[in-house]
Structures are given as C-alpha cells and as structure tokens.
Chain A
Amino acid sequence: MSENPLLTPIHGITLEDYSAACAKLGSGLSEADVAKALGIEFPVWQEVSLLWPERMKQDSTFHIVTLFGQYFGEADKNPKFSNLKAEVSAQGTTNIEKIKTDKDFYQELEVARQVAYEYGLDGAQWIADQYAISIGDFQIAASLWNGQIHQDIQADYAGYNRRQDGYKKKYEQLFAAAQGGNLADDIEF
C-alpha cells in the first residue's frame, strides 16, 4: 500500500486518520477538537486538510478517494477518536445507531433529504431537526450501505425503484402539504 506515493502520510497523518477526522467533523466536532485528537496543532491540521484533498484531485484512478470513503465509514473504529464524541441527544443516539443498522431507514431518510432540497429546504438541517442525525453520521451510514444497495439494484432493479418511488411520493406529499400544496396541483388533464 505504501508503494503509492499519494498515500504517504502528510505531516504524519495517514489517510485513515484524515478520513476519520472528516467524519468526526461532520458529526459536529470542531477543527480544534480534531487537531487535538490527532496530536497536532491547528496550522498543521489545516495543511493536512488542504493537502489530502489535493492528493485526491491528482489521482485519476480514484483510488485515494475510494479509500477515503471506506475509512470515513470506519471512523467509529479509529482509536484516535474513541474518546471523542460530539454531544448527541438520546433520540439522536438511537437514530444514529438505527441508520447504521437498518438499511430501509437509511434509504428512506436519504430520499427524504433529497426531496427536502427540492422543496427549498436545507435537507441536512431537516434531518438534524427531525432525527438529530448529523451529516457526518449520515455519510458514514451511506458508506456502510452503498455496497449492499448496489447489490440490491443488480438483483432486483424494479423492486428497488418501486421502494424509492414510494419514499419519494411520501415525502413529496409531506413537504408539499407544509407549503400549501404544489404550484400546479389544480391543473388536471
């Protein structure tokens, strides 16, 4: 693995640690918290967080970014951050556990988030308000489920689409109702 010069640690920070740090930032930790957990000062962290994405940009094979996604999903296992958790409510803790263990729950919320944006809402904020799940935990769940969802699509494309459409309809109705309907609801064939 260390054969690839693009994987050489930056200021001693490996891609594993950097990816986990990003996940933790997404879960509500500050840059200062993350730097401290990695044992580096703020200016060093800022270089690390500037230069790892540069490595990803330079890599036309997408190897680095793929590994980033994988390590991001394994952030909870990274020992450097094991004692460091953002403050989360009891409801949030339950939902964060659920989104990582219940694929349907994850898929439904992913659709809900997208539909929220289509109704002019900040989808990430909507998820945070409704379920107390941060964008970091949401993305961790995404990287945990992506492989399996890909297999589901290959095994039963129609079934997958049917479920997605069902979620989409459900949330379209929910968000439209909150805005007094859609603009063209009164126009019928």
Chain B
Amino acid sequence: MSGVLEKIGQTQDKWFVFLDKLESRMHEICTAAVPEIREVFEQDRDPYKRAHGHLLMGLRGQINQMRSKANEVREEKIFQFIDGITSELPGHGFFTGSHDRLYTFRIACINRHNLFEEKIAFYMSLLNNAAGEQDLEAAYQEQLQAFEAIRDQFSCKQCAGQMTIPDLFFIATYVTCPFCQTQNTFIPSTGAQMVLHQARSLAEQRTAHLLKTYEESKPKNSLLYRQYLRSMFDEWNKIVPDMAEENEKFYQRLLQDHLNSINHY
C-alpha cells in the first residue's frame, strides 16, 4: 500500500507544479501584453479597432490553449489515475487509509484546478480591460465640430447656389436647393457615418453608472434597470435625434423583454 500512497503523493506534486508553471507563463505573457495592447489600441487608425481585436483574440486564444491543456491533463492524469487506483483497492464494504488518501487527493487536485480557473478569469479580464475604454465622447464632439465647420460649404450642383446642410446626417440623403429647388444628394463623411454606429455605445458610456447601480443591487432591482434603460435611450436619442422614432420601438421591445424575464421568477 505504501507504493500507492507514494504514487498519489507524486501525482499531486506533479499536478501542482504543472499548474504553477502554466500560471507563471500566463502571468509572464499577460503582464508583458498589457502595455502592448494599449499601444496597439491607441495607434489603431481603423474605426473598428481591428488590429487591437486580433491581438486580443490571439492572446485569449493562448490562455485558452493553457486551459485546454490543463483540462486534458486533469482527465488523463488525475481522474483516470484515481479510477485506476480505485479499481486496485479492495471493493465495497472496505474503507482503507488509501481510500481516505485518495479522497483528499481528489479534493486537493480539484481545488488547485479551481484556483487555476480563477487565475484564468483574472488574466482574461486584465487583457480585456488593458486598452481602457475608447473615448467615444471626444470622437462625437469632434464630429459635431467638423460638421459645423463644413455645413455651409456646399453649393447646389445645378445652380451653384449656396446650401446649408440642415442636420448632421449619418447616411446619404437628398437636400433641396433653396434657390432652384433641385434635389441634391448629400453623402456624409466617414466620420459622420460612424456617429450612427457608435451612438449606442456612447449612450451606454454616458449611463454606465446607472447600469452599475442596478447590477450592484441585491436583489436585482428592476426599477433601477428600467431607469437605466430609459436614460440610455434618452442619451441615444440626443446623439442621433433622427433615429428617435425607431429607437423608441426598440426601447419598447427591450423593456418588454425585461418585464417578461422578471415575470418568470
């Protein structure tokens, strides 16, 4: 029996050392990656920040590789080892020191693995948050100013009369010449088009504190959620007032979804 106990001890040591090594590698890559992620994010000219996205995915992929590796070892070297030993021990009705040791071994290995999973969650969130939040407010204010600067600088393609663009359009649309009534087509800048795509995210940034208040409420306070949702849509509508009518229909849907979800409990 001492052979078995020794084997159990060795396996446990190996498992702990194996996870230690994975964690230390994880720490190494993630701490080195944080400033690099930030740099790539800040220098990424792409409006969708795709270079940053790919780097982040690649790093997360490597952490997931470590996770799979640990899962495979847990299956093959820990659980199968336990099964193997169990089949060698005396059967039902007997309870020996080895059973006891095997049980504590199993618990210790699982607990150690749980700690490993906690580390993964920690480093994943470190990577995810490394770049910080994109300053959508500044980008939006920049577009408002850019629009003010250009809105009077267009002339009718038919009669050359000066035209003022009435609104910060974010899609192409027709604008009527005040002199000859011709329908001109105005195509907004790429930056102005992005205002539409970023509007919800900006509204969410502006109201993040309300969502946090709701999420921290215990038990979850539905009224706080509804206050958040209304404020978020109010901000959204302020950013792109032309979308208010459509947004309101979407608001009604989300509100209904929320009410339905709480009615299930």
Contacts and interface: CB of A to CB of B under 8 A. Distances in A.
Given A121-B54, A122-B54, A183-B29, A43 B172 contact: yes
Contacts of B22: 184, 187
Interface string A32-49: 000000000111001100
- Chain B binding site: helix, strand, loop or mixed by DSSP? helix
Given A50-B171, A60-B253, A187 B54 contact: no
B250 interface: yes
Interface residues of B, number: 36
Given A46-B171, A188-B18, A182 B250 contact: no
Contacts, number: 78
Contacts of A104: none
A102 interface: no
A172 B58 CA distance: 12
Contact of B69 (A58, A60, A117, A187): A187
Among A42, A51, A59, A120, which residue has the most Cβ atoms of chain B within 10 A?
A: A120
B60 interface: yes
Interface in A153-189: 172, 182-184, 187-189
A45 to B, nearest CB: 8
A46 B61 CA distance: 37
A22 B16 CA distance: 52
Interface string A130-155: 00000000000000000000000000
Interface size class of A (residues with CB under 8 A): 20 to 34
A189 B60 CA distance: 22
A97 interface: no
Contact of B21 (A43, A51, A187): A187
A119 interface: yes
A183 B252 CA distance: 48
B190 interface: no
Contacts of A59: 253
Interface string B245-264: 01001101100110000000
Interface string B170-182: 0111100000000
Given A41-B185, A183-B29, A184-B22, A118 B66 contact: no
A120 B33 CA distance: 14
Nearest to B29: A183
21 contacts: A42-B172, A43-B171, A50-B196, A54-B249, A57-B253, A58-B249, A58-B250, A118-B61, A118-B64, A119-B61, A120-B59, A121-B58, A122-B54, A183-B25, A183-B62, A184-B21, A184-B22, A184-B25, A184-B69, A187-B21, A187-B25
Interface of A: 41-43, 46-47, 50-51, 54, 57-60, 117-122, 172, 182-184, 187-189
Given A122-B54, A183-B65, 13 more contacts: A41-B185, A42-B187, A43-B174, A46-B173, A51-B246, A54-B250, A57-B249, A58-B246, A60-B253, A118-B58, A118-B64, A119-B61, A183-B29
Going nearest first, the 6 A-B pairs with the smallest beta carbon separation are A120-B58, A118-B61, A46-B171, A43-B172, A54-B246, A58-B249
